[in-house]
Structure 1
């Protein structure tokens, strides 16, 4: 299946009841696919008049306890940022898809990873965070959508799937596996959907005029984020069990390129490992602590950006090892030979 269409089918199989979206390249096929499929299975598809409207429809729909989703691409996510902050503050579950294109501004429609800061450092206003998943294949993207819906419900939080434009547009074989749904709250007692045996209506609100109350709410959110950091970190370590000359850090489709780099480097006698964050937030800090003794020359972060994830890598390493960076931007994809040349430069020609 094409990546964008696989996203739509995976959302249906994960129990998504409502989709609200607006077309923007390179994710338009998500909405196009769901516009046909959702009515076929008795679910709701609605094309909003704008990205701002779409995210606020998600806000309202999620407030009823209904599984819902929206999708967009970079500039569209910027327009949704205020709504995402409101949803996080109101502690409402939903899934947000971002198929990233080059920026800043209108940019271009080619693939990029330059929304890392936007996704992991908040994006909107206030002290909020949200889980961000970075799949490296269409199969993994399909699998993570089910996980994202479950995590959203368990923690009452928005979750983002962030893939680059290649994942949205390429085609790969996909298996929609039978998955074991995690233990979810049996009843969403917080939802605004009638009294349901309560004496008073639930009111969903993010306005706290008294600073003491707002601080209390923020501290409650921070406790939830700490729990997410303890329990919901995902990453892959590839050839990191051995002693390496260097360990590459990359996510998404860039990590797939880097695995080919590792293969070619071995032919030259260069040993490389790979840390692939699957959750960009919570970031897999422990993986770096685990591998500090397994890398002679430190780490090389490879991204389709001007170097956004490299900051989290340096924070995770805590100055114990050098951290280098190689990246392409504007929709350009790092080529394996260029990455390998950067590796050679770091190693100073030594094998």
Structure 2
């Protein structure tokens, strides 16, 4: 298929349709409003249903209902809108239902700004709702990768019965890049024999969420964590960039990693042996990658568009908090190449 030039928000909408999504429930908020705008026009053309709900809270509960009925269903929003959806995301997680949630992050906290940010890391990775649970979190660094990850998200969600969050930022949603759409459904996805299909012939099903007895609830949680263990074993993903001879490694994701990639070029030109380990999955965090490189890397240089929310995960992955240095911008600011080069030189000193 030939590549086409598309805005990120519109491209992820098309990717969802290509992956078989036929239901969208959402609410407009900058900088992701083109996602529902695109789907409001294109979903009906393929027999799908688009609903602009009265609020983000209503939208996520509509997602809950469609997921329980076995549909491939999507919602999207941006930071404060995703915050409003957290209770519903927790319910969907506890029910063990597949759904895809796109967050085009903006600066915060609160209403914050409409510029891009990465300060929703904790909300997505650590869980913004109550209880013990995880969602898979995918972090694209380009429009093409966002397209690929949206398609992949539906397969992962159906494979494990789990919500998947595609955690991008407003810059990826608003930029235009050439993309292609080539969805190939992964093998081994189970049939949705549990889906609620209404009264009729065959076995009646129910989706549970409330578990009154504490022992029953504990067992229910352990069953979920057995699934999470499978996800951690099978779904860790990352990129290794110029690490073969590297003594230092940047760790960055999303838009920030694009800035880091350019900065590495300048640092390499001056003789610094530095590369990048880029997480593509924020949960499960790519522990396997750190296990591979920890013996070689002297220090990890974490660059984020936040106040350092990923730092504890990097420190845990390398088993040494003193091995992690941090540089971040926040409030809608994007780190510059010059900043990252200066940060790298400060950390590495004259160690070339």
Same fold (TM over 0.5): yes
1:118-267 counterparts in 2 under 5 A?
Answer: 118-185=123-190, 187-194=191-198, 198-199=202-203, 201-242=204-245, 244-267=246-269
The separation in 2 between residues aligned to 1:37 and 1:66, in whole angstroms, is: 18
Length-normalised TM-score, structure 1: 0.96
The separation in 2 between residues aligned to 1:179 and 1:289, in whole angstroms, is: 31
How far 1:321 sits from its partner (Å)? Answer: 6.2
1:271-310 counterparts in 2 under 5 A?
Answer: 271-295=273-297, 297-310=298-311
Contact 2:102 / 2:165 at 8 angstroms: preserved in 1? Answer: yes
- What are the ranges of 5 or more consecutive residues in structure 2 without an aligned counterpart? 1-5
How far 1:197 sits from its partner (Å)? Answer: 5.1
Deviates further, 277-286 or 313-322: 313-322
The separation in 1 between residues aligned to 2:318 and 2:166, in whole angstroms, is: 26
Contact 1:241 / 1:294 at 8 angstroms: preserved in 2? Answer: no
The separation in 1 between residues aligned to 2:100 and 2:266, in whole angstroms, is: 38
> SS of 1:188's equivalent?
coil
How far 1:241 sits from its partner (Å)? Answer: 1.8
The separation in 2 between residues aligned to 1:251 and 1:287, in whole angstroms, is: 14
How far 1:180 sits from its partner (Å)? Answer: 4.2
Deviations 1:60-109 (A, max 9, x none): 01111011000000000010000000000001101000000000011000
The separation in 1 between residues aligned to 2:199 and 2:26, in whole angstroms, is: 30
The separation in 2 between residues aligned to 1:178 and 1:203, in whole angstroms, is: 31
Length-normalised TM-score, structure 2: 0.96
- What are the ranges of 5 or more consecutive residues in structure 1 without an aligned counterpart? none
Q: Pick closer, same or farther for the CA change 1:135–1:213 going to 2, 3 Å.
A: same
User: How many residues end up aligned between the 2 structures?
Assistant: 347
Deviations 1:99-148 (A, max 9, x none): 00000011000000000000000111110101000000000110111111
> SS of 2:115's equivalent?
strand
The separation in 2 between residues aligned to 1:83 and 1:178, in whole angstroms, is: 28
How far 1:320 sits from its partner (Å)? Answer: 8.1
